[in-house]
Structure 1
């Protein structure tokens, strides 16, 4: 799988020999047994360590520069994730036509599987930063910025709370978007993970079907099915577009929140970073 990923970390782009790379599982993978290659992505050891979830203290004390860096890293990482999710959603909505076309110039199934791996990797890069942001205390910083604050401006805690709320909401909206995009694959009777066809289900049992290739259970696409049992893709696409707009609005709110926090911290952002 290192060769499949060009021996390159799919998170930071670093190239390394096999000793500096490892495989990171994404999505709903089994806790025991073998993980299918469609759910494994190459990352460098440094990124792997950064993706590990470590306990966050209830209260986190950061100096102004460190808080600014955390805000910047969080918003930048979510910006990358928003772009990745939008691209994945676009790729998913093109699947019905692309798979029917059977073009030799592209491999839509492979493109979908790769895009899904990388968008899930991008999503996993955010939670640890969000947890730290939620735990930040600002009392010790208020005195530093109070003298520069206008009478009608709120304390630092207010814009920071708004920023954290927007970032958390955006993460939820992006997860919903990924689930909607995966429903397109399930509507084609294919696995949302590896995109291989499902076995024909037994109509006499309610046991969930598992993908015979990767073992993933299909996501529920029931609410987009018509009377004949087939997914009504136009209805699903409308919901994807609406959720994309929601994510766009929240991203704008996130950007404004980050600017407000930076202003309260009296830290001038370097546009080159």
Structure 2
């Protein structure tokens, strides 16, 4: 991620997000135009306009946290005290816990899309103004999907940034037991991030199977979304002779979430071991 000046209707993004950071919920200061920033989540075009569905409002502090993780040299090592490392690991664990909840919420929303749209179609068919009733229901569903996707992706990016801080800690100042525990905590947390991103990626397949963009949820035509410019995700693995194998796709998403749950238990145990070692050192 670079510090590119993302091009979009910033005011519309800020209004949509109630002028508050979508991570820490810090409200922006109307008198300070730099108090809030737009941050891109997920895949975005390398050049040109970025659709608002892929932009989240963040405060300056959260933006700098996100940027510092991507801008810092991979070889840089940070010397910290036992107390500082304890706080850093605890904060990283807290942030990652929030990411787990956001990803699970997004996955739940995504797997409900086929039923939600089918129910909306049935209700609309029974209404006097079928098309407008259905369009209103789709708009509501689209807004919820975009919000859930942004929340999950932003939470994962923040967790990645915190985890990068942990990786940058110079372990030379600690004894062998702490170094070993820190390494296992970092590796397990990294595995958890990968599993959570896998769950999000598979959840994004659901709207594409419904002929909707995985980013903005607008109808798809061609190889790229005409609204937000995202390339259409490949869905061949989830299609069969009878159409989309939603049950198999949903099972795959659930497997990822179950894997994340198992990894979280392991991470909790290893984090507690590290915390004990740090408080005793």
Q: What TM-score does the superposition give when structure 1 sets the normalisation length?
A: 0.86
Match of 1:47 in 2: 62
Correspondence 1:203-214 to 2 at 5 A: 209-214=223-228
Match of 2:229 in 1: 215
Supply the distance in 1 between the matched residues of 2:63 and 2:168 (Cα, whole angstroms). 23
Q: Is the 8 A contact 1:190 1:197 kept in 2?
A: yes
Correspondence 1:119-130 to 2 at 5 A: 119-130=152-163
SS at match of 1:192: coil
Correspondence 1:130-169 to 2 at 5 A: 130-142=163-175, 155-169=177-191
Correspondence 1:24-63 to 2 at 5 A: 24-52=39-67, 53-56=70-73, 57-63=75-81
Where do 5+ consecutive residues of structure 1 fail to align?
Answer: 143-153, 202-208, 269-273
Supply the distance in 1 between the matched residues of 2:94 and 2:158 (Cα, whole angstroms). 11
Match of 1:64 in 2: 82
Where do 5+ consecutive residues of structure 2 fail to align?
Answer: 1-12, 124-132
Supply the distance in 2 between the matched residues of 1:16 and 1:71 (Cα, whole angstroms). 28
How many residues were matched structurally? 248
Q: CA RMSD in A?
A: 1.9
Supply the distance in 2 between the matched residues of 1:76 and 1:225 (Cα, whole angstroms). 38
Say whether 1:21 aligns with 2:36. yes
Say whether 1:99 aligns with 2:117. yes
Q: What TM-score does the superposition give when structure 2 sets the normalisation length?
A: 0.83
Supply the distance in 2 between the matched residues of 1:68 and 1:76 (Cα, whole angstroms). 12
Aligned equivalent of 1:171, options 167, 170, 193: 193
- CA offsets 1:77-122 (integer angstroms, 9 cap, x no match): 1100000000000000001111122267962211001111111111
Supply the distance in 1 between the matched residues of 2:257 and 2:22 (Cα, whole angstroms). 24
Match of 1:87 in 2: 105
Supply the distance in 1 between the matched residues of 2:218 and 2:253 (Cα, whole angstroms). 23
- Report the Cα offset of residue 130 of structure 1: 2.0
Say whether 1:182 aligns with 2:204. yes
In terms of fraction of residues, the more helix-rich structure is 2
